[in-house]
Amino acid sequence: MTRWVYAFGGEKTAGGAEMNALLGGKGANLAEMARLGLPVPPGFTITTEVCTRFYEDGECYPAGLEEQVEAALAVVEAAVDRQFGGEDEPLLLSVRSGARVSMPGMMDTVLNLGLNDRTVEALAVSAGDRRFAFDSYRRFVQMFADVALGVDRGLFEEEIEHLKDRKGVDADADLNAEDWRALTTRFKEIVLTETGVPFPDEPHAQLWEAIGAVMRSWQTPRARTYRRLHDIPEVWGTAVNVQAMVFGNMGEDCATGVAFTRNPSTGENALYGEYLVNAQGEDVVAGIRTPQSLTVADAQARGSQQSPMERAMPEAFARLMEMRAQLECHFRDMQDIEFTVETGRLWMLQTRSGKRTAQAALQIAVDMVEEGTIGPEEAVMRIEPQALEQLLHPTLDPDAERDVIARGLPASPGAASGRIVFTADAAEQAAAADEAVILVRSETSPEDIHGMHAARGILTSRGGMTSHAAVVARGMGRACVSGAGAVRIDAESGVMLAGGRCFTTADRITIDGGTGEVMAGEIATIQPEVTGGFAQLMEWADEARLLRVRANAETPRDAEAARAFGAEGIGLCRTEHMFFDADRILAMREMILADDETGRRTALAKLLPMQRRDFVALFRIMDGLPVTIRLLDPPLHEFLPRTEEETAEVAAAAGVDAVKLRRRALRLEEENPMLGHRGCRLGVTWPEIYEMQARAIFEAAAETGAEPEVMVPLVATGSELEYIKAIIDRTAASVVEETSTALAYSIGTMIELPRAALRAAEIAPAAAFFSFGTNDLTQTAFGISRDDASSFLGAYRDGGILANDPFETLDIDGVGELVRLAAERGRAARPDLKLGICGEHGGDPASVVFCHDIGLDYVSCSPYRVPIARLAAAQAAISLGKGKKQDQAPPAP
């Protein structure tokens, strides 16, 4: 006979923490505490297998369950020496759901089960408190009707309010035993009206009904949605925990409370929590009375006049402190505890790993290593990489109220508040006056860069995660929300419409670049506090990981930030960003709009010394670390003037007719610039551009002794790369000859087109390295333009068609197969091929795991995500093992 029921807390305990899958989280930990000898009210757990069978068999219980439940119940009765449904000292039960992982979508708890018109009288006698008994009774009917029978909770609250009105009193405390009795009767009438079935009076019927309700709560729409969103398999099922009641509300020597074994907000190693005297658990949640501090220290810190538990119940408190130490030592993690004191005696009702802020997680993990509780690798595994963003960027005060007026893409993390400005110049003026502003634009362009730098944050109504605004903001570490389509901007009139309201430059707004929310008004932000623990944890992470982590950076500022965050090189230096400065864009435009090669070369000659200076600066900062420089990638029309005025300026500089120039500019416009004349296609048609860039790189390398990695973008065929490689090699040879300096450099390519991934074997012979540009690879594999996707991706998420935004988390099934194939085929053709990734996914923890798994050498991401990538890489190495690379030399950076 299969065992369906596991007892705990009585004479013997059958389960334990290791049986989490079978008993659910709550049940397994109750058993574990009982095993440890902690005071757990006796009870039993019906396994998750029963739930699974229940659904397989058309909502029938498996054979033998009833007998096993009755037997387990008898054990509980014996342990507490009370009888379920007994008219003497009745045993009351709590019934709780409990899946393998905590699931808010499911039934929570029914307390005081077993009460009816007869047992309530017995309870009144045995407790010596009639009001307590009838209060317990009405609570039971109310909870049972709500969570097990689905009757609207509001109907009961209304009745209570009616009665208080009739009696002219304000508080529940003003109602007496008779009031509660009458209300209970009324509640049962409501249940009959609402469900058409009388409220079950027989305790066993109540129990089975509650068990069934827990089973069925596994399939509520809310639970299903939660499972879908969190990838929880349907077959897991939920367990049911049935446990003898203990009462925190039987008098002044009773209490109920919750505690964290350490401070979940700061990580401080001190008991943290609250308790309420003479109350049941739900009272803490309901917030009718203000809970009191547990410790004297906390009470003092809060300035509370009320007696902390440490004072009011010194014995129970001492016991609690003992158990805190015991639980932490046993579970080797900070615990979140529920407890009840019944007539002076402490009972443990739950323990589980406590949720915590990023800062606390970090502090606790580091402290526990120092205390010897866990090892460094375990500490590394304890921190959610994504959570580091909280440590590195200002975050919104979680308690502050948010008046959300629009949502966009979380383009660059951090929260920022400020007055609205619509132009870069206005932002700069405000910054000069030390005023915080948010730059609001339909989209940004190179001319806005000074304003983006001056602003606290950037909000755009158009463009995606890889738009100009997003990329530049991430590089600068500025908060940015992009593509907030519902925001209408009329910059000329100085008006922004959002959420049906009108905002002007007189108004302040707040943006959260981590969530994409846009809020009216100023909201308090919390500045990040990077402690020594952070550096310690990162050191442990670096020891564990195999993947190297580089940064995407082009300016000296970016490069310095990258080094500060621990980047081991630059994986992507986008040279086009170097042409956006005001003094350069003119020469760039002159080049683009030149009549012929001679004209282009004249303009390029102006850019050469600037590019060379850029690279010299970059090489000096990176000081021997590898630097991968991508040659010009975007279509040239991105650099073109948009206004007549700017066109005239370029025309004057180039000495040509403005109208003619305008026409030439129009000719460069494209239907689909993403798939247009860009990347190495520019190098094929206008080799002089790549020649200038290669020359600037090599002259800077000759000056500094750097060993640059030159990267060719948007390659689709092997012959394309060979063609461009010849141009670069030729230029290098010229520089070697002119400077009489030997150069060490390598040439590689982005793999960002499906064809390039498939034909990796044909491309690898000409490439010393592949860098996967997973942004463009995702765009082309899915056929989705990131900039335009906002108009339909919402419907895809709502319809459950796409679980994740493939631009945030790498689509391992599709895009990932291309990456994997390219890595395999490339390495087969060229065993020393270096492999990295430099798309936005390089900073996404799940994607980093994938990169480790397929054996890439490095990931590269924006500077502020470098710590996240370092941590994710360490976790991947620890959990997936380092086997893949053990027989290799240490990876090249």
Set 838, 851, 852, 861: catalytic member: 838
Query: Residue for token digits 């989705």?
Result: 784
174 half-sphere exposure, CB direction, 13 A CA radius: 11
Closer to a copy of itself at the Cβ: 526 or 674?
674
Cα end-to-end distance, the chain, whole Å: 59
419 is a contact residue toward a copy of itself (CB under 8 A): no
Interface stretch with a copy of itself, choices 239-247, 368-376, 644-652, 680-688 (CB under 8 A): 680-688
Contact yes or no for 101/223 (Cβ under 8 A): no
In whole angstroms, what is the distance from residue 227 CA to residue 164 CA?
41
599 sits near a copy of itself (criterion: CB under 8 A): no
814 binds a copy of itself (CB under 8 A): yes
Whichever of 186 and 786 has its CB closer to a copy of itself, that residue is: 786
- Helix or strand run (H / E) with residue 480: strand 479-482
Q: Select the span of 110-118, 207-215, 505-513, 782-790 touching a copy of itself (CB under 8 A).
A: 782-790
What CA–CA distance (Å, rounded) separates 313 from 227? 42
Site residues for a copy of itself, window 714-753 (CB under 8 A)? 714, 716-717, 719-720, 723, 752-753
- Rule CB under 8 A: say whether 497 interacts with a copy of itself: no
Contact (CB, 8 A) for 85 and 203: yes
CB-wise, 454 or 781, nearer to a copy of itself? 781
Shorter beta-carbon distance to a copy of itself: residue 65 or 712: 712
What is the rounded radius of gyration, in angstroms, for the C-alpha atoms of the chain? 33
Please report whether residue 314 would count as binding a copy of itself according to CB under 8 A.
Answer: no
Pairing of strands 335-342, 404-407: unpaired
Provide φ and ψ at 520, rounded to 5°. -75, 145
Residue 425 near residue 406 (C-beta atoms within 8 A): no
Binders in 660-679 for a copy of itself, by CB under 8 A: 667, 670-677, 679
The CB-of-361 to a copy of itself minimum distance in angstroms stands at: 34
Q: What share of the chain is helix, strand, coil (3-state, %, to 5)?
A: 50, 15, 35
Comparison of 400 and 675: residue with beta carbon closer to a copy of itself: 675
Question: Does the protein bind a copy of itself through residue 196 (CB under 8 A)?
Answer: no
Q: Which of 779, 860, 862, 875 binds a copy of itself (CB under 8 A)?
A: 779
Kindly tell me which residue out of 63, 652, 659, 801 binds a copy of itself, with binding defined by CB under 8 A. 801
Give the one residue of 298, 512, 811, 857 binding a copy of itself; rule: CB under 8 A. Answer: 811
Smallest gap from residue 778 Cβ to a copy of itself (A): 9
Cα 272 from Cα 501, distance rounded (Å): 43
Active site residue 838: yes
- In Å, the largest CA–CA distance within the chain is 106
Per CB under 8 A, 776 contacts a copy of itself: yes
Q: Is 568 in the site for a copy of itself (CB under 8 A)?
A: no
For tokens 């948009």, what's the residue?
A: 642
Among 360, 735, 815, 859, binds a copy of itself (CB under 8 A): 815
Of 684, 846, 854, 878, which lies in the binding site for a copy of itself, with binding defined by CB under 8 A? 684
For a copy of itself, the closer of residues 348 and 818 by Cβ is 818
754 lies in the binding site for a copy of itself (CB under 8 A): yes
495 binding a copy of itself? (CB under 8 A): no
Minimum distance, C-beta of residue 69 to a copy of itself, in the bound complex (Å): 41
Q: Is 788 in the site for a copy of itself (CB under 8 A)?
A: yes
Which CB sits closer to a copy of itself, 699 or 811?
A: 811
Q: How far is CA 374 from CA 338, 366, 538, in A?
A: 24, 9, 16
Cα(850)–Cα(558) distance, integer angstroms: 26
DSSP string, 727-777: HHHHHHHHHHHHHT-----EEEEEE-SHHHHHTHHHHGGG-SEEEE-HHHH
Closest distance of CB 485 from a copy of itself, Å: 8
From 755, 809, 855, 884, residue interacting with a copy of itself (rule: CB under 8 A): 755
Beta strand pairing call for 395-396 and 437-441: unpaired
H or E element: which one contains 681? Answer: helix 680-685
Measured on CA atoms in the order 830, 834, 840, 841, is the torsion positive or negative?
positive
Shortest distance in whole angstroms from residue 800 CB to a copy of itself: 7
Residue 117 or 490 with smaller CB distance to a copy of itself: 490
758 binds a copy of itself (CB under 8 A): yes
Window 474-493: contact mask with a copy of itself (x via CB under 8 A): -----------x--------
What is the C-alpha to C-alpha distance for residues 823 and 60, in angstroms, rounded to an integer? 52
User: CA-to-CA distance for 41 and 91, rounded, in angstroms?
Assistant: 12
Residue 783 touches a copy of itself, criterion: CB under 8 A = yes
d(CA 831, CA 857): 13
Whether 491 and 442 have beta carbons less than 8 Å apart is answered as yes
User: Would you call 453 a catalytic residue per the annotation?
Assistant: no
Pairing verdict, β 457-460 and 437-441: parallel
Question: Minimum distance from CB of 300 to a copy of itself (Å)?
Answer: 57
* Helices within 593-657 (DSSP H only): 597-622, 644-654
Q: In the complex with a copy of itself, which residue's Cβ is closer, 354 or 408?
A: 408
Q: Which stretch binds a copy of itself (CB under 8 A): 132-140, 318-326, 379-387, 791-799?
A: 791-799
> Which residues lie across from 570 on neighbouring strands?
551, 627
Here the tokens at position 721 are 């790369």
- Part of the chain binding a copy of itself (CB under 8 A), chosen from 307-315, 416-424, 428-436, 794-802: 794-802
Nearest distance, CB of residue 763 and a copy of itself, angstroms: 11
C-beta of 181 vs 759, nearer to a copy of itself: 759
What are the structure tokens assigned to 841, written together? 């996914």
Binding residue (CB under 8 A) for a copy of itself from 14, 155, 616, 784: 784
Q: Judged by CB under 8 A, does residue 595 bind a copy of itself?
A: no
- Contact call for residue 800 and a copy of itself (CB under 8 A): yes
**β strands within 545-668, DSSP E:** 548-552, 570-574, 627-630
Q: How far is the CB of 409 from a copy of itself (least distance, A)?
A: 14
CA distance 44 to 93: 11
The residues near 65 (Cβ < 8 Å, ≥ 6 apart) are 4, 5, 46, 50
Q: Cβ of 711: how many Cβ atoms within 10 Å?
A: 29
Q: How far is the CB of 677 from a copy of itself (least distance, A)?
A: 5
Which position among 254, 393, 468, 680 bears the catalytic label?
Answer: 468
The closest of 638, 717, 635 to 679, measured between CA atoms, is 635
Q: Which two tokens stand for residue 686?
A: 């206008």
The mark string for 220-259 relative to a copy of itself (x by CB under 8 A, - otherwise) is ----------------------------------------
Identify which of residues 277 and 636 has a Cβ nearer to a copy of itself in the complex. 636
Counting other chains too, the contacts that 13-16 makes at CB distance below 8 Å and 24 or more residues apart are: 15/45
Q: Which is nearer to a copy of itself, 798 or 832 (CB)?
A: 798
Q: Which is nearer to a copy of itself, 342 or 633 (CB)?
A: 633
Name every residue whose Cβ is closer than 8 Å to that of residue 691 and which is 6 or more positions away in sequence. Answer: 727, 731
Which residues touch 374 (CB under 8 Å, ≥6 apart)?
A: 332, 333, 365, 368, 382
In the complex, what is the shortest distance from the CB of residue 492 to a copy of itself, in angstroms, rounded to a whole number? Answer: 15
426 near a copy of itself, rule: CB under 8 A: no
Active site residues: 468, 838
Which residue ranges make up the site for a copy of itself (CB under 8 A)? 485, 667, 670-677, 679, 681, 684-685, 714, 716-717, 719-720, 723, 752-755, 758-759, 762, 776, 779-785, 787-788, 791-792, 795-796, 799-802, 811, 813-815, 817-818
